[in-house]
Amino acid sequence: MLVDTGLDMLKRRLPPAFAREIEDRLREGNLISLAGPHGNGVGARLDREYSVDNNGQEGEPAERSGIRTLLDWLASAYEEAEGISKEPQQWILAESADGALDLLLRALVPGGGTVLVETPAAPEALELMRRRGIRAVPVDCDRDGMLPDDLRRKCEAAGGRPAMAYVTPHYSNPSGRVWSRQRKLALLELSERLGLPIVMDDTASLVPFAEVGDLVTDREEKGSKDLLEQTAGTECEGTAKEMAGTEVEDLSKDLKENGGQGDTTSLDVLRQQAGLWGAEIVSLGSLERTLTPQLPLAWLRGEAKTMERLRRVPSLGSSSAAGAAVAERAGRLHAWLAQPPGRGSAAAAEAAAAYAARRALALELLQAPAWRGACVEDPGGGLYLWLRLPAGVSSEALLRASLLEDTAFLPGTLCYAKEPDDRFIRLTVAAHEPARLREGLARLTAALAEFTARSADE
């Protein structure tokens, strides 16, 4: 059974009796969770029949063959998408997306330290940093990514060089933002100047395998459109202002200067185009959150010297049994992706289309009267909707009400390194087929309506 880490985080914040009730309802199949970090993979199946073949090099163990063939497939897929070749020593496989990030934290931030993160930031990553005693420092953001001036200020406040910057620039977790080209270049320039390693986490998107064509590029025309329509756009403009820590009119100017466009070009490609060779990038990729949730596995790409540094850190799953498990998963994933030829890209395109349909369904359902005054934008890709609740509604209070209706979401308070904002929620709309998503949102809408009516009577 797939572990819902979103629910696990919630249970640690709730009274024990409430947490046990969640477990009981989840076990019975009654609870619909929109709190986790995964899509459901739109029916992708990796049965045991997809196993490691025995066509490895002479004298090569079958399990090593599974790792080698998957890395060869990934290297070819990324080279086709980016035009950049990576040598075998520039890749590492890890047992999961969280495991890969944990390895990076132990290697690059040993003994605790400072990591720059977005505002808001991926709650799963913040939780890993907290467990490791790492200080996550939030950088102000708007819809185009980290604000360069605040990024420089936070670097200076950390003594000129934080241990690393952790970013999710493509359909960000949780906000869904896609960074602009200019903001990515500003980060690369700072990385080169300060020797600041950048960890680019693409595990919440299907980039570079799909979704590139789904991006809404004319943001200036679209603006901060309130897709709930009742608020005529003013609420979403306020949201952009608060995320950025700047005035709305300044944001509009910035959008004009940047062309108002998000950009799914990878940092590796931009570094090459701009000649910023001193910028250090480690890319974290996986399909477990987007396409194959039943098969946890992740990969890291970076400079050979950085990868060697990671290899020297003992893995939490460094036993021979754990290594064999990673190799077995690698073989199964490669067999599924590669046969028949083109299956991987076709499945990614299918998932992107299915998730887009679910976002559209969710946005339609969120136009119910109970949601008047709320604000949400279609990010154009990814797994999540990032929604600001109507005025006066607390995300954590609404969570308790929604759990009574057998549905759950992730409160925005878990998505901030400092000064949590209780008005936002993350909805993982990619987690369920349309019928179950519809039922989950209907329950959440009922919980909101009851919560609002009860508050009005008090």
Q: How confident is the model at residue 9 (pLDDT cuts 50, 70, 90)?
A: confident
Distance of alpha carbon 29 from alpha carbon 84, whole angstroms: 45
| Cα–Cα distance for residue pair 99/81, rounded to 1 Å | 25
Q: Which residues of 379-407 are buried (b: 16+ CB within 10 A; e: fewer)?
A: bbbbbbbbbbbbeebbbbebbebbbebbb
Q: Which two tokens stand for residue 98?
A: 């969280």
Distance CA 187, CA 184 (A): 5
Better pLDDT: 34 or 323: 34
Give Cα 358 distance to the centre of its chain: 17
Region at 55 (left for phi over 0; alpha for psi -120 to 50; beta for the rest): alpha
Task: Note the pLDDT of residue 117.
Answer: 98
- Give the pTM: 0.87
Q: What percent of the chain has pLDDT over 90?
A: 63
Q: What local confidence, expressed as pLDDT, does residue 356 receive?
A: 95
Q: Each residue of 233-283: pLDDT tens digit?
A: 334 654 544 443 322 223 233 333 333 467 899 999 999 999 999 999 999
Nearest-angstrom CA–CA distance, 235 and 225 = 9
For 6-17, what is the mean pLDDT? 81
Q: What is the pLDDT of residue 395?
A: 95
Residue-wise pLDDT tens digits, 42-87: 665 665 545 544 444 444 445 567 899 999 999 999 999 999 999 9
pLDDT in tens, 378-415: 999 999 999 999 999 999 999 989 998 999 999 999 99
Q: Give the pLDDT band of residue 433 (cuts 50, 70, 90).
A: very high
Mean confidence (pLDDT) of the chain: 84
Three-state helix/strand/coil letters over 83-108: CCCCCHHHEEEECCHHHHHHHHHHHH
Pair 203, 38: CB distance under 8 Å:
no
Residue 4 has pLDDT above 50, yes or no: yes
For the chain, the distance separating the N- and C-terminal CA atoms, rounded to the nearest angstrom, is: 42
Q: Looking at the predicted structure, is the pLDDT value of residue 125 above 80?
A: yes
Q: What CA–CA distance (Å, rounded) separates 402 from 414?
A: 17
Residue 369 has pLDDT above 60, yes or no: yes
Q: What is the pLDDT of residue 229?
A: 39
pLDDT band, very low/low/confident/very high, at 295 (cuts 50, 70, 90) = very high
Does the pLDDT value for residue 227 go beyond 50?
no
